[in-house]
Amino acid sequence: MEAASNIADAATSKETLMRTPVHTRPTSTGRRARAAAAFTAPLVAASLVIAAFAAAPLLAANPDFAGVWQLDNERSDSLAPGRAGRERPNTLDLELDIALTGEDLVMNYTMRNENLPGPVQFTQHLITDGKPAEMPDFQGGTRTARVKWRKDRLSVSYTRVTPFGDLDITETWQLSKDGSELQVKLHTRTQSPRPDIRELIYVRATNVQ
């Protein structure tokens, strides 16, 4: 009786398998595919996590300009107009307080000079999306500038209108390797074939003697 039952069960199983559509029958290929998917899924998830952590430093790669800086007059070129002006003594007492808001900057300037009745203050908001934006100018009024991070440097480009013609100016800001200095190069193109290049050196206010 038991043998007959086993034979009947085997026949039933064979009949069921024969009735099952071919595309739904389990195959060795399907089993291998499912096993491979189960093995590779954790690897894919791990790679995504690693990529996310690898991208995080890129978002915070901009140098930290934040702090209070003082212009080092002895090592900075004068801002007096004309090529000969750069050689004049730099008597401007200039303090710069920089705050960061994400990738953008807020620069608060305080200028003092014996020819000024008192401190002159103004603020520039630098939006680093590379689009034209108006901001206050040293000489009063406003200027339209484009501001953008270029790796570890900040580029500020604008045109200044003067009685002697338009001046295309690019400022390049960067920290020294040890972070103790903020170096600014001003590259000015005029009607002259040679550009006027000047350098400003800021030191942290805590280092001013």
Of 150, 160, 158, 185, residue with least CA distance to 171: 185
pLDDT by 10s per residue, the chain, length 209: 444 444 445 444 444 434 444 444 455 555 555 555 454 444 444 333 333 333 333 334 578 899 999 999 999 998 776 665 556 667 789 999 999 999 999 999 999 888 888 898 989 999 999 999 998 887 777 889 999 999 999 999 998 877 777 889 999 999 999 999 999 999 998 777 888 899 999 999 875 54
Same domain, 108 and 197: yes
Are residues 114 and 49 located together in one domain of the fold?
A: no
98 and 23 within one domain: no
Assess whether 26 and 89 both reside in one domain.
no
Report how many domains make up the chain: 2
- The CATH code of the domain that includes 179 is 2.40.128.20
Same domain? 196 vs 100:
yes
Distance CA 209, CA 192 (A): 39
Name the pTM for this structure.
Answer: 0.66
How far is 97 from 205, CA to CA, in rounded Å? 9
Q: What is the largest CA-CA distance in the chain?
A: 120
Q: Which two tokens stand for residue 52?
A: 């996310």
For residue 105, with 0-12 CB atoms within 10 Å meaning exposed, 13-18 middle and 19 or more buried, which class applies?
buried
Q: 126 and 39, same structural domain?
A: no
Residues 89 and 189 in one domain: yes
* Domain enclosing residue 26, as ranges: 2-59
- Among residues 21, 38, 59, the one where a domain terminates is 59
Tell me: do 26 and 72 sit in the same domain.
no
Q: Which domain-ending residue is among 17, 34, 59? A: 59
Sign, CA torsion 148/153/159/160: positive
Q: Check: CB of residue 93 under 8 Å from CB of residue 112.
A: yes
CA 182 to CA 61: how far, in whole Å? 17
State whether 55 and 79 are in the same domain: no
Return the half-sphere exposure (C-beta side, CA atoms, 13 A cut-off) of residue 47: 5
State whether 78 and 46 are in the same domain: no
- Do 14 and 45 lie in a common domain? yes
Same domain, 154 and 197: yes
- Give strand pairing partners of 157: 146, 170
CA dihedral 107, 108, 114, 117 (to 10 degrees): 140
> Rounded to whole angstroms, how far apart are CA atoms 44 and 115?
67
